[in-house]
Structure 1
């Protein structure tokens, strides 16, 4: 609810029921008008361009009616209603957090000692509340398990179908991670893998990865996940200059392991939005190409920061570990969470299948559920 509104030709100042005040420019209000001539009633898409708004747009009247705001724009002589709740959701008048390397609202960073968030296959498939909670965990923590699933090949595709679509790559719709202990072929080794993000040589990278366990009778081979955002926070706090180097200069990544494939990217290991929010991590020693975009006089300091970030990531205190059983899977935000694997010993086999998907599909599904199924959280 709004208490009052004052205006001049260039802006409106409103007071909410709680006593807070906010200002909105005339051009901003006109561009975001909610009337059916400006926004399509069905999907909310804008029907006008910026060029359709008069350059001389101004406000001739602004008043509170039934707790909402009515604004009249000139020279169109057009009156539009803005709900108080909508205005409260879109306030931009105030101090904005510009801390370099800050974490977005709704994201929780973590390290060892955190319980892996988990959902039950049957419940997530059947109940909106369970599905919403599982999707929320992925959005907040960057990873989550799914237990109690079937053990048929390609079951991982049903996981992707919960929220979106498989992103097919040169590896196909999905790929095999089939490793045997005491193998007859070195392709099926039980060697451990350092924590890494997948496919950093792509632009854009696949933003989600799903790994689904079909067999796991081997000793060892635990999965480990590391929060790259928490690692970046630690580097930022311990070595701000090193953080700035890894965020300020592109690294290079490359993959050309098969005929007809030569994937290359030029992106920083720590990626920030233009206003300083931490939005991505790319870290993969196996796919790293020579760094050639860092000035000569800064290269040694860059490598020192790279080493320090790697030491933070490799610290056992950073990792959450678990062993996947047949029918279990986990999903990771590949722009944030690194995954690793311990080596094997003894006898047995380990067969996983993996695929990629896109985070925008997951976030879209979650946002739609939050709008249409608020009871799912209860």
Structure 2
């Protein structure tokens, strides 16, 4: 199922003819189906790709949204019996089967060529210290309704974090709030827990020592993506401030000012470990770890910042020359 935002839907119409009664032009080629959206825009789809992506109930389960068609049963040289434009989309008749592909879906999935304006990319907002003047925030009562949940998730996607005000000071309310996003992932600390500076676990977070800017779980192959912290009580003593840093903003500045350093952090795998408990030891797979900066394989955009100097293991680069690059100061 394809859901389009109003702005995105408006952009789609720009590729179609100006009159709603006009339909794209469809033509068959040896191995592909071509769709002419207008006199200047043409998309081509391989026959086998179209057959593999049929979304009818016999090929794609309408409830589970899982494939039912065995890809390996499709003949590599499959050809349509016919293909024609209809109001709802591209209708393709195969040998004993009919598929319908909505126009909006075909435009979004077009790969020959890709339409950049059709790709739904999240809008990242890079920020610095001034964000404390007006941080992204939603109220607890809003989040517990669907409209507020969408705003909460949108803020997280745009800024990387979001405060939730008015949360009852109970672990139960905190847990229910967490479940509004999804299931709670279990770690070596438990599924959901509260903690204080009592060294109940062998981790610096369970002490009164200050923690520098870091991301958690660098010793996991797949670190936790979202974390939720709730300060239930702070009636005595001082300290306890939370440091927030926009890693994407830092990376953008580093790339602009020191591209060589950015390159090193994008290539050099950094090993990590968690060994504070006598009965357990954690490290990622592979053991050499992952680069601090990881990028999307398709777009090349920065996708992950993975940094925790406290949990960093012994660096053992394959190239001795990179040691100097790793420790250089800018």
TM-score by length of 1: 0.70
Which of 104, 127, 132 is 1:110 aligned to? 127
Q: Matched residues in 2 for 1:174 and 1:79: separation? A: 49
Q: What are the superposed Cα offsets for residues 200-249 of structure 1, whole Å, 9 maximum, x if unpaired?
A: 11121121111101112344432221111221222222222222221112
Q: Matched residues in 2 for 1:154 and 1:77: separation? A: 56
Cα–Cα, structure 1 residues 62 and 285, in superposed 2: closer, same or farther, change >3 Å? same
Which of 264, 276, 288 is 1:245 aligned to? 264
Q: 207-216 or 170-179: which moved more?
A: 170-179
Shift of 1:272: 1.9
- 1:166 aligns to 2:189 (yes or no): no
Shift of 1:79: 2.8
| 8 Å contact from structure 1 (residues 3, 15) kept in 2 | yes
Q: Matched residues in 2 for 1:264 and 1:189: separation? A: 22
Cα–Cα, structure 1 residues 39 and 137, in superposed 2: closer, same or farther, change >3 Å? same
- 1:29 aligns to 2:32 (yes or no): no
Q: What are the superposed Cα offsets for residues 80-105 of structure 1, whole Å, 9 maximum, x if unpaired?
A: 111112212212223588xxxxxx53
Cα–Cα, structure 1 residues 187 and 272, in superposed 2: closer, same or farther, change >3 Å? closer
Q: Mark the runs of 5 or more structure 1 residues left unpaired by the alignment.
A: 98-103, 181-185, 309-378
Alignment correspondent of 1:53: 74
Shift of 1:67: 5.1
Alignment correspondent of 2:8: none
Alignment correspondent of 1:318: none
Q: What are the superposed Cα offsets for residues 305-334 of structure 1, whole Å, 9 maximum, x if unpaired?
A: xx55xxxxxxxxxxxxxxxxxxxxxxxxxx
- 1:213 aligns to 2:231 (yes or no): yes
User: What SS is found at the alignment partner of 1:223?
Assistant: coil
The equivalences for 1:82-161 within 5 A come to 82-94=101-113, 105-114=122-131, 115-125=134-144, 127-161=145-179
User: What SS is found at the alignment partner of 1:279?
Assistant: strand
Q: What are the superposed Cα offsets for residues 147-188 of structure 1, whole Å, 9 maximum, x if unpaired?
A: 1111123432122111212222221233444259xxxxx997
User: What SS is found at the alignment partner of 1:134?
Assistant: helix
Which of 262, 280, 283 is 1:261 aligned to? 280
Q: Matched residues in 2 for 1:155 and 1:18: separation? A: 57
| 8 Å contact from structure 1 (residues 249, 294) kept in 2 | no
The equivalences for 1:331-346 within 5 A come to none
Shift of 1:66: 1.9
User: What SS is found at the alignment partner of 2:130?
Assistant: coil
Q: Matched residues in 1 for 2:206 and 2:185: separation? A: 25
Q: Matched residues in 2 for 1:209 and 1:242: separation? A: 29
Alignment correspondent of 1:13: 34
Q: Matched residues in 1 for 2:303 and 2:38: separation? A: 35
Equivalenced residue count is: 293
C-alpha RMSD of the superposition: 2.6
- 1:273 aligns to 2:296 (yes or no): yes
Q: Mark the runs of 5 or more structure 2 residues left unpaired by the alignment.
A: 1-15, 17-22, 199-203
Q: What are the superposed Cα offsets for residues 46-93 of structure 1, whole Å, 9 maximum, x if unpaired?
A: 1123211111112342211125211233xx353311111221221222
Alignment correspondent of 1:62: 83
Q: Matched residues in 2 for 1:294 and 1:234: separation? A: 28
Q: Matched residues in 2 for 1:187 and 1:8: separation? A: 63
Q: Matched residues in 2 for 1:11 and 1:188: separation? A: 61
Alignment correspondent of 2:251: 232
